[in-house]
């Protein structure tokens, strides 16, 4: 969308070219270790669209082993949940924030 053009350019100018040239597209730490190590509240949203969703059901199940992680599966959404299911995305974020942020 047009509204994301400027932030996209900004982000691309701050991307480490060495990282892009490395071809590494996954974290160095295995997923289960990374999720287990989270020690702050975290919301993890993912879709289940084949070929697009990066985390999917299996990744959510792994993440859910850590009680600080709040997993949310958005059926039919892809990697960019906010774009493919914006209403569901914002509802999940609002609900999660209301649980983890103190009132007042």
Q: Is the pLDDT of residue 83 over 80?
A: yes
Q: Contact 85/74 with Cβ under 8 angstroms?
A: yes
50-59: per-residue pLDDT in tens? Answer: 877 778 888 8
47 burial via Cβ count (<10 Å: 0-12, 13-18, 19+): buried
pLDDT in tens, 7-24: 888 888 888 888 778 877
Contact 98, 70 (CB under 8 A): no
- The reported pTM is 0.74
């Amino acid at each position: 969308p047009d509204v994301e053009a400027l932030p996209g350019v900004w982000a691309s100018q701050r991307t480490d070219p060495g990282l892009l040239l490395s071809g590494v597209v996954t974290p160095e730490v295995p997923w289960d270790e990374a999720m287990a190590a989270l020690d702050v509240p975290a919301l993890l949203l993912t879709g289940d669209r084949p070929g697009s969703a990066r985390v999917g059901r299996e990744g959510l199940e792994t993440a859910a082993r850590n009680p600080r992680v709040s997993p949310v599966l958005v059926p039919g959404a892809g990697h960019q949940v906010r774009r493919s299911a914006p209403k569901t995305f914002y509802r999940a974020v609002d609900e999660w924030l209301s649980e983890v942020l103190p009132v007042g």
